[in-house]
Amino acid sequence: MKEKIRIADIAQELGVSVSTVSLVLNNRPGVSEETRDRVLAAAQKYNYPAKPTNSSNKNRLLNTIGMIVKTDPDLLPMANPFYSKVIAGIEESCRRNGINLLFAMLPVDENSRPVDIPNLLYEDIADGLLMVGTFVDETILSLASKKRSPIVLVDGYSKTDNYDSVVSDNFHAAYQAVEYLIAKGHRHIGLIGSEACCYPSLRDRRNGYLRALKEHNINQSYVANFNLLNSKGHNETIRLLGENPQITSLFCINDDVAATAIRAIQSMGKSVPEDISVVGYDDTYLATNSHPCLTTMHVDTTAMGQAAVSLLSLRVSNPEFARMTLTINPYLVERQSVSVLQTSKMVVLN
């Protein structure tokens, strides 16, 4: 009983949880160095025994990282083909560098707005945070502004410039994908997925599609709008192609949508790429498991995760540095879902 009172005394004096004090006194990960030092000093004051610390970690500024990952409704982060590799890159980098990694999920609604805030954002138990796939809204911004530990956004966005970030160059990659279709002779190119006010990374892909058409003097765009959390685009693809039979190719907002579009095209009695060419985005496992295999934009998501850990480490060591954005440049991977448009068809359509 006496032991519990002393732990509670330390927790109350420092304004931290009892579990935080327990982690420190038992030399367990999950507590920032600043908090650890305060708890140990208080423990010494109360003459409370604590396990010895690992001297190899004593002088390292980044010992514990908190990773907060966006969780879409009905889909766990590890089941997301994009974010699962980002998470794997973060985990691998932490393991290689001997950094403790804490994990929390951030549930969001269909508009990627947070619906519940994890304790990791309230408690000061990590030396820095990585927020994966998260839009920093007013609630998160208010909490984050009170934290002393730095935050790096990974495929995340904010209305302010307060955070370092690691992102993919979605605009230029989408532009490159559409330009590739144009080079294959396609002039009637549809976009499957996204909305005018969708998540910033998807909006950049949408704008890249529109800019490519404009700069190649193609005045007609064909867009199937829908929220990706409500649909993968099967019916929308059929509707767009039915209403616009002149379309010869599709740029899809991600591989999941592209694989769905291929099945939709085939359900109409058409063939890919003979009748309709399809390009995806992300180069997830879905690209090589679709039939035919999908031409897509490759995003090195594992590198995104690893770069985020490095950027966070740099920020912890150099808090006075200017804010930084590290951009990953996707590249096209050609497979079997795109064909050169036949001259005879080009004449009919144009």
Domains and CATH numbers, the chain: 2-57 (1.10.260.40), 64-168+301-328 (3.40.50.2300), 170-299+333-349 (3.40.50.2300)
Q: Which of 56-60, 79-83, 333-337 has the highest average model confidence (pLDDT)?
A: 333-337
State what percent of residues in the chain have pLDDT above 70.
87
| CA-based torsion, 42, 47, 48, 53: positive or negative | positive
State what percent of residues in the chain have pLDDT above 90.
55
Q: Is the pLDDT of residue 270 over 50?
A: yes
8 A C-beta contact, residue 120 and residue 333: no
Nearest to 310 by CA among 36, 96, 30, 55: 96
Q: Note the Cα 210 to chain centre separation in Å.
A: 23
Q: Which of 23-27, 189-193, 315-319 has the highest average model confidence (pLDDT)?
A: 189-193
User: What's the pLDDT score for residue 335?
Assistant: 97
Q: Tell me how far apart the alpha carbons of residues 127 and 241 are, in angstroms, rounded to a whole number.
A: 51
8 A C-beta contact, residue 135 and residue 297: no
For residue 161, report the phi and psi dihedrals to the nearest 5 degrees: -105, 35
User: What confidence tens digit (pLDDT) does each residue in 18-35 have?
Assistant: 778 877 777 666 677 788
Q: Is the pLDDT of residue 102 over 70?
A: yes
User: What confidence tens digit (pLDDT) does each residue in 42-65 have?
Assistant: 887 777 766 665 544 444 578 899
User: What's the pLDDT score for residue 59?
Assistant: 42
Looking at every residue in the chain, the average pLDDT score rounds to 86
Q: Which is higher by pLDDT, 54 or 89?
A: 89
Nearest to 54 by CA among 30, 27, 23: 27
Mean pLDDT of 189-212: 93
Q: How would you classify the pairing of strands 331-333 and 151-154?
A: unpaired
Q: Which is higher by pLDDT, 45 or 293?
A: 293
Confidence of residue 306 (pLDDT cuts 50, 70, 90): very high
User: What's the pLDDT score for residue 49?
Assistant: 67
Q: Which of 114-118, 171-175, 318-322 has the highest average model confidence (pLDDT)?
A: 171-175
Q: Is the pLDDT of residue 298 over 70?
A: yes
| CA-based torsion, 250, 252, 256, 260: positive or negative | negative
Q: Is the pLDDT of residue 237 over 70?
A: yes
